[in-house]
Amino acid sequence: MSISKAPICVQCGKPMKKVIYGMPAGNDLDFDKYIYAGCIMDENMKQWDCLCALHEDEDEEAPAVEFQIVVADITSLEVDAIVNAANPQLLRGSGVCGAIFAAAGPGLDAECRERYPHGIEPGQAVITGGHKSKAKWIVHAVAPRANGDGFGDHVKLSNAYRNAILAADEAGAASIAIPSLGTGIYGWSVERAAPYVLNDGIFSTFSSLRNIRKVILCCFTDADADVFRVKVSGLRTGSEF
């Protein structure tokens, strides 16, 4: 007979959460009630678990990270690092990519060709100098392409955000601005991508950061920014996901 009432965690004294395996749809996520364990299933599968160990002494060990959502030209922001919505070849493109290459000048083209001649895969991120841009560093992150319904490999999408932020943190950046990756010509629906972008892509890095103290999600339109703001509000109240 399965247990219907959540057991109490012996470590934090609070009710545990039911563990869900597999890949639930974006609209079905409820982080307030469940822990999503992905598709790795073996003899160690758990029915109930608690994430309290991830937050032990969090306030003492790592200062808070400020998070902002803005609508702006990412190249105009006063931050240590900006993230390029890169193509896999790391070539000068259009949109955000084109604007960043234009601000940085031809030195960025040359560095990308020299250091990363074979490009990178979706979900990966690499860092270069900022060249003539305002930023000291430019992080190049590649989002996967979405399917026709505006959704796709959300793990690689989340990894693009995570790897970009972690690369900038490792370089020593104290602030970073990152665009809404994949929601342009790569076809991602902002509404469907937002839960993964925020939870698995951005907020999941905060406990690991040692240098970054400000993360800015820089959106192209007010409509996109409003979607992310609603999702963040829901995350804080436990009602949106």
Tell me the per-residue pLDDT of 49-81, one tens digit each, with 9 for 90 and over: 777 665 554 444 556 899 999 999 999 999 999
**Helix 95-104 and helix 106-115, axial crossing angle in degrees, nearest 10:** 100
What is the per-residue pLDDT across 223-234, written as a single tens digit (0 to 9) for each? 999 999 998 977
Say whether pLDDT at 145 is over 80. yes
Q: Are strands 34-36 and 17-20 parallel, antiparallel or unpaired?
A: parallel
Q: Is the pLDDT of residue 102 over 90?
A: yes
- Tokens 């991602």 correspond to 188
Tokens 């965690």 belong to which residue? 9
Domains of the chain in sequence order: 1-56 (no CATH), 59-237 (3.40.220.10)
Q: Could you count the other beta carbons within 10 Å of the beta carbon of residue 6?
A: 14
pLDDT on residue 46:
76
pLDDT grade for 33, boundaries at 50, 70 and 90: confident
pLDDT at 120: 97
What is the per-residue pLDDT for 162?
A: 96
Whole-model pTM?
0.74
- The arithmetic mean of pLDDT across residues 23-37, rounded, is 61
Q: Are 209 and 62 in contact (CB under 8 A)?
A: yes
